[in-house]
């Protein structure tokens, strides 16, 4: 082993995502397996500043692999954005004998970790946990698969009522900057149209598509809309626009909101979290730092955190093409 690390701290930060608990469990159990200590840090960077730590062993993570959310909690920390706040966090870590950190979170969490490392040369490895799947260097982030399954299940239920009443439903899903959830769930649930931030389909095209659907005999339609859709209108304005221009439609809106973040993680997310947790601890013990664990071509990979933050994930153009064919 290329390091003298004796105690690793693990914490979750930013928005929660299903699979975070499975990742915590994996980090704690890998530490136990490697015979080093592990400390759980509660409430992210805020808890780090306050020294809200708790020693964790293999038994303290029993029965959490199937739970959504995060047992270590998450919180926004304004204090950590200041030099004084970060100094305080560093002092608390040193006081507790913590030598290295595993951060489970997204873009903002990684940015904080990188600054912290630059200032104090503190070893850090990141695990990407966010349902948006918007981190460069990994094909999948923790929680994305579960969120997709949740969205598809809900759209299936909405379709039942849409068909019964000959209605058009706009279903808004999360994804302010990227349309991965909207595109995949839209294809998976057989939506008639998908609106995503990466491509401005334009309102005219949406109306044309809905007119075609009606003409071809479809009595109900579902349009999946990502939060950050580029038409420039929010989902309620879209509803009004369509009702004004296509009065034949009875339009309803469903905003799925935070239900997409909750729920028991899928098998895929549990296995991914387990793999990532093991690799994160191993990397620290090998003396590595400032890297994020990811998965590409079903192999566990490492990407510099600076790249993971700056890089933007690209929407799957092949799936866009499939979606266009499927919505005819």
Q: Answer yes or no: are the C-beta atoms of 233 and 241 closer than 8 Å.
A: yes
Q: Determine the Cα–Cα distance for residues 327 and 193; give it in Å rounded to an integer.
A: 6
Active-site residue, from 132, 134, 229, 269: 132
250 is catalytic: no
**Long-range contacts, stretch 187-190, CB < 8 angstroms, 24+ apart:** 187/319, 187/322, 187/323, 187/326, 188/148, 188/152, 189/151, 189/152, 189/155, 189/156, 189/159, 189/222, 189/224, 190/159, 190/222, 190/326
| Residue 257: Cβ within 10 Å count | 11
Q: What are phi and psi of 36, to 5 degrees?
A: -125, 160
Q: Answer yes or no: are the C-beta atoms of 27 and 277 closer than 8 Å.
A: yes
Q: Which residues contact 62 (CB under 8 A, 6 or more apart)?
A: none
Query: Of 186, 117, 120, 112, which is closest to residue 148 (Cα–Cα)?
Result: 186
| Residue 256: Cβ within 10 Å count | 20
| Residue 33: Cβ within 10 Å count | 11
Q: Determine the Cα–Cα distance for residues 17 and 260; give it in Å rounded to an integer.
A: 9
Q: Determine the Cα–Cα distance for residues 122 and 159; give it in Å rounded to an integer.
A: 51
Helix (H) / strand (E) containing 124: strand 124-128
Structure tokens at 299: 């192999």
How far, CA to CA in Å, does 242 sit from each of 49, 182, 236, 259?
Answer: 50, 20, 10, 26
| Residue 182: Cβ within 10 Å count | 30
Rounded to 5°, angle at Cα 207 from 204 and 213: 145
- The catalytic site residues sit at 132
């Amino acid at each position: 082993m290329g390091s003298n690390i004796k105690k690793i701290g693990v914490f979750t930060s930013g928005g929660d995502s299903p699979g975070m608990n499975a990742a915590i469990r994996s980090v704690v159990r890998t530490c136990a397996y490697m015979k080093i200590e592990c400390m759980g840090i509660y409430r992210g960077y805020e808890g780090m500043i306050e020294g809200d730590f708790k020693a964790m062993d293999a038994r303290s993570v029993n029965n959490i692999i199937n739970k959504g959310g995060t047992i270590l909690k998450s919180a926004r920390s304004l204090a950590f954005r200041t030099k004084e706040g970060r100094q305080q966090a560093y002092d608390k870590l040193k006081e507790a004998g913590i030598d290295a950190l595993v951060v489970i979170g997204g873009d903002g969490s990684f940015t904080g970790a990188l600054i912290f490392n630059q200032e104090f040369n503190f070893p850090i490895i990141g695990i990407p946990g966010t349902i948006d799947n918007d981190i460069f260097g990994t094909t999948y982030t923790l929680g994305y698969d579960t969120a997709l399954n949740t969205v598809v299940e809900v759209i299936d239920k909405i379709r039942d009522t849409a068909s019964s009443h000959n209605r058009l439903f706009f279903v808004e899903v999360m994804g302010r900057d990227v349309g991965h959830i909207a595109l995949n769930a839209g294809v998976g649930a057989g939506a008639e149209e998908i609106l995503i931030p990466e491509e401005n389909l334009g309102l005219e095209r949406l109306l044309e598509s809905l007119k075609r659907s009606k003409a071809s005999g479809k009595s109900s339609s579902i349009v999946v809309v990502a939060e950050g859709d580029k038409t420039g209108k929010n989902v309620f304005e879209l509803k009004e626009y369509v009702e004004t221009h296509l009065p034949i439609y009875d339009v309803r809106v469903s905003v799925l909101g935070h239900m997409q973040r909750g729920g028991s993680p899928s098998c895929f997310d549990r296995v991914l979290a387990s793999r990532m947790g093991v690799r994160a601890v191993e990397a620290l013990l090998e003396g590595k730092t400032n890297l994020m664990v990811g998965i590409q071509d079903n192999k566990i990979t490492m990407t510099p955190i600076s790249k993971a933050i700056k890089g933007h994930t690209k929407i799957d153009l092949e799936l866009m093409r499939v979606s266009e064919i499927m919505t005819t």
